[in-house]
Amino acid sequence: MAHTPLLDPRRAACPDYSSEAYAACRNTLIQGGMEEAAAVEFLVKMWETQNVADIAIWDAREAERQAATAENDRIRREAEAAAEAMRVQEIEAADKEERKKNRAKFLPIGDGRVPDTMPIIVPAAITAKLRAGHRVDLWHYTNAGLLHASADLDAESNRAGSFVAAPDGTVEFRPTLAAASSRAVIQDRDLSMEDFMVATYRLLAAMKEAGWPKDRVRMFADFWNNINNHPRRVSRDPRDVRALLLYQDEQRTQWHNITASATGATYDLSVINEVRLDEAFRTICTAGYDREIR
């Protein structure tokens, strides 16, 4: 086992081997045939040789200790950096979740002034359906529907609700008040022609904002324009107008159902099918509708 110095050998001083303390060491060498001066010199050389060896051992041990200290420091710094990175990620994730749940809270303030007209606000569920390309009732874009949505929005902060995932991946707050809104909806077929015209104009703008393809927006624009310009539109018989609205309701619903089916087939809705329109008129002429019109 190699000798390991306990103190720095560079600070050690060579003993005085000519002193009385080392007489026994010298006598041993003298008895072996050495002169006293030669014995002293031999002892000094032996000490110097051992001191050089001790210095080498000491330096190697110090290098190992410093390397171990440096490695421990590196591991500690990496652990602290990893912990800090994890903390930052947790903060960012919490902030991202907060922004999803309360999107309106973090919207940037625009440079525009107060708008001259009231904004078109529909329930979040309707906007989500429109973004997904689904059918929505025209009533939501009538004056009555917008007033109803505005009243609901004012009351939302005082009503219970839950957070639900929207189709685009964001999280929206869905108030329980939405159930009351759904009960207030009037079917397309039961709208007035005036409400129908206003709602289709607004819905076309909403389709564009929701990212609907241009050809699809154009098809619906032509469809509703052909409904409005059909000869039955100016008929003196109110059943003709009701038949147009019923036809619009049925055909728009059917078109969305077919395009969403497994076949994925589609067709141009804008061309009025007079056979189906006559069927809608005959439906209007049934007792229930006829009594309502009178």
- The conformation of residue 109, written as its DSSP 8-state character, comes to P
Most confident of 104-118, 151-165, 243-257, 275-289: 243-257
pLDDT at 172: 57
Sign (positive/negative) of CA torsion 98, 104, 108, 109?
A: negative
The answer to whether residue 113 scores a pLDDT higher than 90 is no
Compute φ and ψ for 207, nearest 5 degrees. -60, -45
What is the amino acid identity at position 80? E
pLDDT digits 0-9 by tens, 68-100: 999 999 999 999 999 999 999 999 999 999 998
Average pLDDT, the chain: 86
User: What percent of the chain lies above the pLDDT cut of 70?
Assistant: 84
Name residue, tokens 């003993």.
Answer: 15
pLDDT of 158 strictly over 60: no
What pLDDT score was predicted for residue 4?
73
Helix (H), strand (E) at residue 162: strand 161-165
Per-residue pLDDT band at 105 (split at 50, 70, 90): confident
